[in-house]
Structure formats: structure tokens, C-alpha cells
Structure 1
Amino acid sequence: MTPDLECADLVKQFGQTTAVDNVSFSVPPGSFFSILGPSGCGKTTIMRMIAGFLDPTSGDIRIKGGSVLDTPPNKRPVNMVFQHLALFPMMTIAENIGYGLRRQKMPRDQIGRKVDEALDRIGLPGIGGRKVDELSGGQKQRVAIARCMVLEPDVLLLDEPLGALDLKLREHMKVELKALQAAFDTTFVYITHDQSEALVMSDQIAVMNAGRFEQVGTGQDLYYRPDTPFVAGFIGEANRWKGRIERAEGSSLEMRTETGLAMRATATGTLAPGDTAEIFVRPESIRLAATAEALSAFDNQLQGTVTSILFNGAASRVLVQDSVGETLEVTLPQSGEFATLKRGDTLHIGWGAAQATCFAVAA
């Protein structure tokens, strides 16, 4: 099956600065693909090259199998939704959605039908006569998408479209966007610095750093099986320790941390005794117990004192200071013996080597 979008060996340089450094990826038809990374990593530059607003220094961009490098932006089968939605306040909702169709000289009755169909698909039937300033932020977001989708693009590009919304609305719109993508059955390419947005909505995520893709995979792949220290630290929360490898047998290893703790972990890549490495452990992988005996099945055990409890509903965490003064973050069970945990309590914590991912790092 021909991908809806392919970028091959894409490079973009601005003078002596390389903003995009030999990036290649493909997006299957009808999928939701996100590019996730910190500000300045090059993700918006990729989006602008796909849209045709920037020319790549080298490489190719193909849509439905055909190169679009020589195709101007207004002729490419893509459309783009920006963070600032740029809806026309002097127009009605129907006029906003039908704007591109009028530019294409489509007959008025066909425009009306397409606009009505689009309003139905975004769950806002019958509001075509209203003005933009009468809508909520989430409704404006859906209208901006409908304005693009009536033009039937092969690929819809979304440049951090939820960034201007408040937290509650962003959470709601993550679900809405995924539902809209499925309703229109169109390929979405989404860029964001918000890991939660990418994890919730995407079929595939590319984690970008300093102009390159560190890893491309599903949210589960990136969270549970990161390829690099950057991905392990950028996706989700993690406890981390740096130290030197003391023993390595296949993927099983032992490390001595900089503070003197001995830890067992699972290697990612090749590691040997003497190598500098870093271990990552997710807060939800750590278990709490009142006694060390209760954690005898775990490869790693520590004793610590509760310094803070961060209540956040289902995602509450407890901060525990260990014997050498380091603070660990542990997911707090919402019921059972630890439901009444308080600051100053002493407890034992443990985790398995399989839940501790270890990477080689520069000394």
C-alpha cells in the first residue's frame, strides 16, 4: 500500500545551522502520525516543508507516491490547521467552512451541501448561520478542521492546534480530534511538544531531538521500550540514576550509582563493565511495602522516608528519600494500607531488573 506521505532523507539548513538532519519517515493512509519534541527541535520546519512554505535543502517529499517538491503550496493536496486558527470573524460559520470551495469556483448549491455535511461530521449541525465569536474554543477548533476537510486533502497538517486552549478544553479536544480523524478517515500529521497529546491520539509517534528522529513507534513502544536516554526521559516520568557498569551478561547487568547504590537493570544496546550508564525506572513500576521481606521477589530494594505526597486523583505520587539522600517518585496506590500514608513515614520500595532500563551515556 502506497503511503499517504513519505519524507526521504530530508535536510533543511539555515546558513550554518541544520534544523532538520536527514529525516526519513512514511505515514500509512488514514493514520494519525505525530511528531513530538521540545521547542526548537525542527518539527515545525518539517511541517512547513511538507506544506510547501519552505524548500528542503535536500531530500524528497512524496504524497500518494508522487514528489511534490516542484508543486507550489496552493496546489499541494494538503491543508494546515495552525495554533491560531485564523477564522474570519466577519463571516458566518458556513462562510468560513466554504471559503476554500468558493475560491475553487464550486457552484453555490454544491458548497452548501458540502458545508452541511462537514458540520454534521464535526457534530455541529445547524450552526452555519452563526458568527465565529459565538463559539467556544473547542467549537472553533472543529470549524477550523472542517474548513480544511471540505477541500478533501490527502493529508491534514496540524501545528500545535491545542496550544491556545485551557487545560480542561485541551483534555476534551484530544479525544475530539481522534474522533474527527476517524470520522473523516484522513491522514493527520500532528506536531506537538506535549507528550500527553501525542500518546493519547497517535497511531505512530516520532520523537524528535536536535533535528533528528530519536525513535518512531507506538505510544506503548516509546513508553515501555525506549531506544535512547532522550526518549526515556522525554516520554512520561522516570526516576534516573547515573553510574558505572560492574557486571554485564547479555542484557542483564549490575550498576553502581554515583552515590554508591548497587542496582540491577536490563541493558538497551551493548554495555560492558566500566561503561558509564544511566538507569530509568517508571514511578508506577516501583512497589511499596512495610517490610523488606514483602519485596523479596524484587531485584532492587531500598528503604526510604516519605518527604511529600502529591495528590492528583488517580495519578497521585509519593516522594521518598532514600538512605543516600536521593529522592524517588513512586505511584501511590489509592486504596489499601498506603491510602493513609503521611510525610515522615518510613517504608520499603522495590522494583525488578526488567522494569529498569539502562543506556550507555557519555562519561
Structure 2
Amino acid sequence: MTPDLECADLVKRFGETTAVDNVSFSVPPGSFFSILGPSGCGKTTIMRMIAGFLDPTSGDIRIKGKSVLDTPPNKRPVNMVFQHLALFPMMTIAENIGYGLRRQKMPKDQIARKVDEALDRIGLPGIGGRKVDELSGGQKQRVAIARCMVLEPDVLLLDEPLGALDLKLREHMKVELKALQAAFDTTFVYITHDQSEALVMSDQIAVMNAGRFEQVGTGQDLYYRPDTPFVAGFIGESNRWKGRIDRVEGEALQMRTDSGLAMRATAAGPLAAGDTAEIFVRPESIRLAASAEALSGFDNQLQGKVTSILFNGAASRVLVQDDAGETLEVTLPQSGEFAALKRGDAVHIGWGAAQATCFKGAA
């Protein structure tokens, strides 16, 4: 099956600065693909090259198997939703949605029919006569998407469209956007610096750093099987220790941390005794107990004292200072035997080597 979008060996330089450095990826038809990374990593530059607002220094961009490098932006089968939506306040909702169709000189009756169909699909039937300022933030978001979708693009580009919304509305719109993508059955390419947005909505995620893709995979791949220290540190929360490898036996290894702790972990890539390395452990992978005996099956065990408990709805983040003076984060459900845990309590913590991922070098 021909991908809806392919970028091959894409490079973009601005003078001596390389913003995008030899990036290649493909997006299957009807999928939700996200490019996730910190500010300045190059993700918006990729989006603008796909839209035709920037020319790549080298490489190719293909839509439905056809190169669009020589196609101007207004002729490419893509459309774009910007962070600030760019709706026209002097127009009605119907006029906003039908704007592109009018530019194409489509007959008025066809425009009216397509606008009504679009309003039905975004769950806002009958509001075509209202003004933009009468809508909520989430409704404006859906109208902006409908205005793009009536043009029937092969690919819809979304440039951090939730960035201007408040937290509660952003959480709601994550679900809304995924539902809209499924309703229109159109390929979405979404850029964001918010890992939660990417994890919730995406079929595939590309984690970008300094102009390159570090890893492309599902949310589960990136969270549980990171390829690089950057991905392990950028996706989700992690406890981290730096140190030097003592010994390696296949994928199993032992590392001596800089603070003197001996830890067992699983190697991510080739490692040898003497290598500098860094271990990552997710807070939810760490178990907490009142005694060492309760953790007898765990490869790594430490003692510590609770320094803080941070309530976070369904779970609490517990900060524990170990005997070496380092602070670890442990995620605990609100119910259970540790519901009465308090600051200053002495605890034992443990985790398995399989839940500790070790990378060569330091992130």
C-alpha cells in the first residue's frame, strides 16, 4: 500500500545551521502520526516543508507516491491547522468552513451541502449562522479542522493546535481530535512538544532531537522500549543513575553508580565492563515495602526515608531519599497498605533488573 506521506533523506539548512538532518519516514493511509520533540528540534521546519512554505535543502517529499517538491503550497493535497486557528471573526461559522470552497469557485448549493456535512461530522450541526466569538475554545478547534477537511486533503497537518487551550480543555480535545481523525478517515500529521498529547492520540510517534529522529514507534514502544537515553528521559518520568559498568552477562549487567551503589539492569545495546553508562527506571516500576523481606525477589533493593508525598489524583508521587543521599520518585495508588504513608517514614524500595534499562554513556 502506498503511504499517504513519505519524506526521504530530508535536509534543511539555514546558513551554517542544520535544522533538519537527513530525516526519513512514511505515514500509512488513515493514520495519526505525531512528531514529538522539544522547542527548536526542527519539527515545525519539517511541517513547513511538507506544506510547501519552505523548500528542503535536499531530499524528497512524496504524497500518495508523487513528489510535490515542484508543487506550490496552494496546489498540494494537504491542509494545515495552526496553533491560533486563524478563523475569520467577521464571518459566520458556515462562511469560515466554506471559505476554501468559495476560492475554488464551487457552486453555492454544493458549498452549503458540504458545510452542513462537515458540521454534522464535527458534532456541531445547525450552528452555521453563528459567529466565531460565540463558540468555546473546543468548538473553534473543531471548526478549524472542518474548514480544512471540506477541501478533502490527503494529509492534514496540525501545528501544536492545542497549545493555546487551558489544561482541562486540552485533555478533552485529545480525545476529540482522535475521534475526528477516525470520523474523517484522513491521515493526520501532528507536531507537539507535549508527550501526553502524542501518547494519547498517535498510532506512530517520531521523537525528534537536534534535527534528527531518535526513534519512531508506538507509544508503548517509546515508553517501555526506548532506543536512546534521550527517548528514555523525554518520554514519561524516570529515575536515573550514572556510573560505570562492573560486568556484563548477555543483556544482564551490573553497574556501580557514581554514588557507590551496585545496581543490576538490562542493557540497551552493546555494553562492556568499564563503560560509562546511565540507568533509567520508571517510578511505577519501583515497589515500596516496610521490610526488606517483602522485596526478596527484587534484584535491586535500597533503604530510604520519605521526604515528600505529592498528591496527583488517582496516584501519589512519593519522593524517597536513599542511604546514598539520592532522591527517587515512586508512583503509588491512593488505596492500599501505603495510604497512610507520611513524610519521615523509613521504607524499603526495590525493582527488577528487567525494569531498569541501561544505556552506554550519559544523556
**CA distance, structure 2, for counterparts of residue 315 and residue 85 of structure 1:** 35
Post-superposition CA distance 1:120-162 (Å, at most 9, x none): 0000000000000000000000000000000000000000000
Q: Which residue of 1 aligns with 2:153?
A: 153
Mean Cα deviation higher: 253-262 or 313-322 = 313-322
Give 1:315 shift. 3.3
Give 1:355 shift. 0.1
Contact 2:266 2:357 in 1 (8 A): yes
Contact 2:41 2:208 in 1 (8 A): yes
**CA distance, structure 1, for counterparts of residue 202 and residue 361 of structure 2:** 29
Report the secondary structure of 1:2's partner residue: coil
Q: Which residue of 2 aligns with 1:38?
A: 38
Inter-CA distance 310–362: structure 2 relative to 1 (3 Å threshold): closer
**CA distance, structure 2, for counterparts of residue 336 and residue 55 of structure 1:** 57
Give 1:38 shift. 0.1
Contact 2:34 2:189 in 1 (8 A): yes
TM-score by length of 1: 0.99
Give 1:336 shift. 1.7
Post-superposition CA distance 1:187-239 (Å, at most 9, x none): 00000000000000000000000000000000000000000000000000000
**CA distance, structure 1, for counterparts of residue 81 and residue 43 of structure 2:** 15
Contact 2:252 2:264 in 1 (8 A): yes
**CA distance, structure 2, for counterparts of residue 65 and residue 97 of structure 1:** 29
Moved over 6 A (4+): none
Contact 2:242 2:362 in 1 (8 A): no
Q: Which residue of 2 aligns with 1:265?
A: 265
Report the secondary structure of 1:143's partner residue: helix
**CA distance, structure 1, for counterparts of residue 211 and residue 248 of structure 2:** 33
Could you say what the CA RMSD is over the residues aligned between the two structures, in angstroms? 0.7
Mean Cα deviation higher: 306-315 or 212-221 = 306-315
Contact 2:158 2:189 in 1 (8 A): yes
Give 1:362 shift. 5.0
Report the secondary structure of 1:288's partner residue: strand
- Count of aligned residue pairs for this structure pair: 363
Give 1:314 shift. 1.3
Mean Cα deviation higher: 326-335 or 268-277 = 326-335
TM-score by length of 2: 0.99
**CA distance, structure 1, for counterparts of residue 316 and residue 291 of structure 2:** 22
Report the secondary structure of 1:332's partner residue: strand
Report the secondary structure of 2:315's partner residue: coil
Report the secondary structure of 1:317's partner residue: strand
Which structure 1 residue ranges, 5 or more long, are not aligned?
none
Post-superposition CA distance 1:250-285 (Å, at most 9, x none): 100000000000000000000000000000000000
**CA distance, structure 1, for counterparts of residue 334 and residue 92 of structure 2:** 49
**CA distance, structure 1, for counterparts of residue 115 and residue 221 of structure 2:** 39
**CA distance, structure 1, for counterparts of residue 147 and residue 100 of structure 2:** 7
Give 1:333 shift. 2.5
